[in-house]
Structure 1
Amino acid sequence: MKNKFDLTGKTAIVTGGGSGIGRAIATTLAEQGATSLILDLSLEGAQSVAKEIEANGGKAEAHPCDVSDHENVKGAFSKALGNRSLDILVNNAGIAHVGNIFNTTPEDLDRIYQVNIKGVFNTLQAGVESMKAKGGAIVNISSIAAHVGLSDRLAYSTSKGAVHAMTLSVAKDCLGHGIRCNSISPGRVHTPFVDGFLAKAYPGNEKEMFETLSKTQPIGRMGKPDEIGDLVLYLCADESSFITGSDFSIDGGFLTLNT
């Protein structure tokens, strides 16, 4: 009998896979049999995750990639894949920004655009090119910021709204190629980035602010990276073959239960 969510023999690219949510995604896919090709601006981070996966019996490779650079992405995909075709693409690489319409500068917006919008476009284009002959599954990491107004998140929300729109467009345009494209919208997830942000912004009050931020999710806590990885796994596996052009919130009830 075939095991559920078996990815044996499949090749997956995870951008931004060298830390945080990307690390959890790359690890989860490898645990189910996929070869995780970890693309990250930090080769050191990607190599660390790849070594961890291999130490646990999985298959992984690390490759440097600047998603904001179109030619760099094409080269990174070509080098990472070699003669293999791509089965799974997870667009996780992204950056954050805190700011509103009053204090966000054009330079801030450009910086977010280069990574969160152009970067996803670049990797989608390279991924679809490799998948179009035999199909595949794409998951874009969006955010609850694409769906609801959040204070001080103008540029970031704009970029994630674009990711949501690109997901719909690619899903529609690639139906004839057997390529499914979906997105997920996480709420707050406890990663090293969150700890670093709290230490910088609220020195001495990290614990209190962590509790405050955790309680903004109706379920009463932040998400875990592994929980994001498990949802991505489902959307990449054959068990979700009837799903495309959809967005899945994974936010502890933030979008639907906050009143």
Structure 2
Amino acid sequence: MDTKQFWKQLTLFIIILLLILITREYISYQLINNRIESYQTHTILSISANLILILVSLFFINKNGLYTIAGLKGTTLKKWYLLVFPLIFLVVLNILVIDPINTDTLYSNIVIYTIYSMSIGFAEELSIRGFMQSHLINYFGQTKKSIVISIFIASAFFGVIHLINFDKGFYGEMSQVCFATFIGVMFGVLLVITKRIYPLILVHTIIDFVADLDTVGMPITEKISDPTTLETAIIITLLAFPCLLYAVFLMKKQPLIHQNQKL
């Protein structure tokens, strides 16, 4: 792929992704202003935005011939056991920090929440790892250095876009950027090693399902928390740091691309 085409595709994708996220936040804001704060309404809005992002990501993956690198086609699952650590670690971590779960939550809310969690898994993995990371690898090449750089660029972008909400105060937002970036690097390395994105989507879905289980059925205005303190932000960042360490460990100990994989 020539340089002009590479940047054209990447820039267009980023613009569309940001438009989807900003539009979602704008509509949510307008709903709140009109006193429409129900959990189901705002969750369905998020699901809709995620579905659009999934379709957009698949379009760009297909257009740029990234199915193999993205782990969607033409590959077999390798070293699945490497996914066990992020699954157990992040699920346990989220269980320890979530508030008590409301047992009176309606069944319909649980169904919507499950669909929402799945949509996050698909949307975030297909967009950031499936397209962006794969697009970078496809352009920069398959050397270990190039792959590591591609992973960190995509993961940093993944972290920065969490600033769009900006509802946790400065310290809270910075900790979210670090948290998402660390996890993004880990997931990015795992995709390159395992060769298949679907198991990663499943792991991502389970983690997100547990993470916000205590907010199911909660009106949107109640989900908006007070600004995060510096101490809490530091704790959040430190709790996510093992994910980055695991990624670095894998980078050093595991081959980052299969010899027979064509880029």
- TM-score, normalized by length of structure 2? 0.28
Greater helix content: 2
Greater strand content: 1
Bigger RCO (CA 8 Å, 6+ sep): 2
